[in-house]
Amino acid sequence: MALQESFVKQGNFLFRYRSYLPLTLVVAGIGVFTTDLFHGQTFTDLQYFSIEIASLIVSLTGLFIRIITVGHTPPLTSGRNTKEQLADEINTTGIYSMVRHPLYLGNFLMWAGAAILVANLYFFIIFVLIYWIYYERIMCAEEQFLRNKFGKTYMDWAEQTPAFIPSCRNKKKPVYPFNIKKVLIKEKNGLLAVFILLFIFHNIRYSCVKGKMLIDNNWVLWCTVIAIILYVILKLLKKTFTLTK
């Protein structure tokens, strides 16, 4: 089997299980972080606060990219679908005029923010390499699907649009209006995940410093509480059909 066909086959398989990769990395990150703390790694409160702020900036930038992408996408695209690639048309405007895979770019930044919380350079490098190997194959499979379905239309767009690192050279206004309801339905998990992870790492360190299991009553706790309340509200609104796509 040629390398490209092998990548496509692997990508189609990995596409179905792409939601599980972050969970594996989170568990590994918590293990590395806890081990480092028990082996004497120390940060002052100000130093780890700086790490937390850096993590938030990177993660929320990723979430913002996802929000902009999802808000302007047409119906029937893959999105959070896990069974197969979907696309009724190619969106070549808005953020898709700057980068071909903005959702994967957003995902990368969100999870890179989580990896920053581990405060271990080697773990961060391994995270980047794993993400690259994993999502390179998914992107390869997705592009093969789009090339087969849309032919020259896709190829013309792909030739002038970078795959992963955005460029404003051919930026175009989005043709689809921003759909806030779609964003609230699809991206509520992202904001919750950002603050839950921040809460977990912050309180693992806080407990190690204090020598017993404790929850720090500070801004991290209250931001997490607000994120949980917002998530619950949006979940209830969705169930009562107040939010529709």
pLDDT, tens digit, for every residue of 110-166? Answer: 999 999 999 999 999 999 999 888 888 888 888 888 888 888 888 888 889 998 899
60: containing domain? 3-239
Q: Is residue 68 part of a domain?
A: yes
For residue 229, what pLDDT is reported?
94
For residue 60, what pLDDT is reported?
96
Torsion of CA 19, 20, 26, 27, to 10 degrees: 160
Mean pLDDT taken over the chain:
85
Q: Is residue 245 part of a domain?
A: no
Q: Is residue 55 part of a domain?
A: yes
Quote the percentage of the chain above a pLDDT of 70: 84
> What span, in angstroms and rounded, lies between the C-alpha atoms of 131 and 137?
10
CB-based contacts of 112: which residues, under 8 Å, 6+ apart? 58, 59, 62, 124, 127, 128
Q: Is residue 144 part of a domain?
A: yes
Interval 32-55 mean pLDDT = 91
**Range 15-37 burial, b when 16+ CB lie within 10 A, else e:** beebeebbeebbebbbebbbebb
Residue 234 has pLDDT above 90, yes or no: no
Banded model confidence at residue 87, pLDDT cuts 50, 70, 90: low
Please check whether residue 124 is in contact with residue 116, taking contact to mean a CB–CB distance below 8 angstroms: yes
Q: Is residue 231 part of a domain?
A: yes
| Burial class of residue 163 (count of CB atoms within 10 Å of its CB; 0-12, 13-18, 19+) | middle
- Other Cβ atoms within 10 Å of 205 Cβ, number: 24
- What pLDDT digit, counting tens, does each position of 3-26 carry? 556 655 666 666 676 667 778 888
- What pLDDT digit, counting tens, does each position of 161-206 carry? 998 899 888 888 888 888 888 888 888 889 999 999 999 999 999 9
Q: Is residue 74 part of a domain?
A: yes
Q: How many domains would you assign to the chain?
A: 1
Banded model confidence at residue 80, pLDDT cuts 50, 70, 90: very low
Q: Is residue 244 part of a domain?
A: no
What amino acid occupies position 159? E
90 vs 209 pLDDT, higher one:
209
Banded model confidence at residue 210, pLDDT cuts 50, 70, 90: confident
C-alpha torsion sign, points 194, 196, 198, 201: negative
Among 54-58, 98-102, 116-120, 171-175, which stretch is predicted with the lowest mean pLDDT? 171-175
